[in-house]
Structure 1
Amino acid sequence: MLRHVLPLLMLMVSNVFMTYAWYGHLKYLAAKPVALAVLISWGIAFLEYCFQVPANRIGSTVYSLPQLKIIQEVITMTVFAAFSYFVMKERLTMNYLYAALCMVGAVFFIFRGN
């Protein structure tokens, strides 16, 4: 059971770092030089990879590569929606729901077997 859940938890942590590396600079470093934002984002991305690489290594023992990719995308969209709403103060629209429904479909098809 731990081999199934641990990669998911690690991918969630990884995605929090990834989202901050990709978009956090828009809020927290907007007035700073781009080069500084790049360097800070690279540092955050390093932390992302410290969780993402082991998560995929562990996850590949119980999930197929396509399953890992879809899991990653679902987690990415979930973390991004939360980040958009709570950190960036963006309004969540119905398009987020529609995108989530598409992701549910992707999960269904990738996990249903041939």
Structure 2
Amino acid sequence: MLQSADLWRFIAPPLMLVASNVFMTTAWYGHLKFKSTPLLLAIVISWGIAFFEYCLAVPANRLGSSVYSTVQLKTMQEVITLCVFAGFSMLYLGEVFTWRYAVGFALIALGAAFVFYGNG
């Protein structure tokens, strides 16, 4: 049976990676709604937002490395990134999520499942 501290090491990294990806997606793509803003200002603001992504991603990976392999952590991060981006592009940027995007993301998620399946 898992102790609560052990359970936290499994759950905290994905939660922290979700939060970090919200910041990173905002930093990378949020400025697209403000294209009249000077590029240098967009870069500086994005860099400031990305700081908070690092404040979550670095500890998530450090904590997660005690229970996940680095390949699993990276795979998890990529799938989370796609999910966060899909929501962001629809909700914030107003883009349509097509069936082709859904199929493509599903295939990536299927590939990711192989990383977590089995012991080697």
User: What is the aligned partner in structure 1 of residue 29 from structure 2?
Assistant: 23
1:82: how far off? 0.2
1:36-85 deviation digits (Å, cap 9, x = unpaired): 00000000010110000000001111100110011001100000000000
User: Structure 1 residue aligned with 2:49, among 13, 38, 44?
Assistant: 44
Identity of aligned residues (%): 52
Deviation, structure 1 residue 96 = 2.1
**How many residues get paired?**
113
Structure 2: give runs of 5+ residues left out of the alignment.
1-6
Q: Which consecutive residues of structure 1, in runs of 5 or more, have no partner in the other structure?
A: none
Work out whether 1:64 is the aligned partner of 2:58: no
Aligned to 1:111: 116
Question: Could you say what secondary structure the match of 2:47 adopts?
Answer: helix
TM-score with structure 1 length normalisation? 0.94
Q: TM-score w.r.t. structure 2 length?
A: 0.90
| RMSD of aligned alpha carbons | 0.9
Equivalent of residue 35 in structure 1, options 33, 36, 40: 40
Query: Aligned partners of 1:33 and 1:104: how far apart in 2?
Result: 37
1:77 is paired with a residue whose SS is: helix
Return the alpha-carbon distance in structure 2 between the equivalents of residues 69 and 31 of structure 1.
35
Mark the structure with the bigger radius of gyration.
2
